[in-house]
Amino acid sequence: MSDDKVILERDHGVRTVNGTEVRISELVWRSGGSSWQVHRVWDDVDLTEAESFDSEPTDDDIAALLCPHENQVITDRSQFRCADCGEELGR
């Protein structure tokens, strides 16, 4: 197990990609490396939870993380679904 840990988190602002606002942040590790995370703004879900980026993600990189469905509707205060297929989009 690595003793490496995050020593700094840099906020790189909010972008809108395919109509979805996302927040970009860079984690700087004690070892000197860094990793990049993408969070949806409206629910703070970490879209890079499974795997972060090694460099600042492009809009195309971010678009690949987003739900491809355009018809998102609120079914209650905590859950979003695609109006076409019913896929849950929130947590």
63-76: per-residue pLDDT in tens? 888 866 554 544 44
Is 89 inside a domain boundary?
A: no
Is 87 inside a domain boundary?
A: no
Q: Mean pLDDT over residues 51-55, rounded? A: 94
Is 22 inside a domain boundary?
A: yes
Does the pTM exceed 0.85? no
pLDDT of residue 3: 83
pLDDT at residue 79 above 70? no
How many domains does the chain fold into? Answer: 1
Is 90 inside a domain boundary?
A: no
Q: Angle at CA 54, nearest 5°, toward 50 and 59?
A: 80
Name the amino acid, one letter, at 59: D
Beta bridge partners of 81: 73, 88
Residue, of 43 and 74, whose pLDDT is higher: 43
Residue, of 4 and 90, whose pLDDT is higher: 4
Containing structural domain, residue 63: 6-82
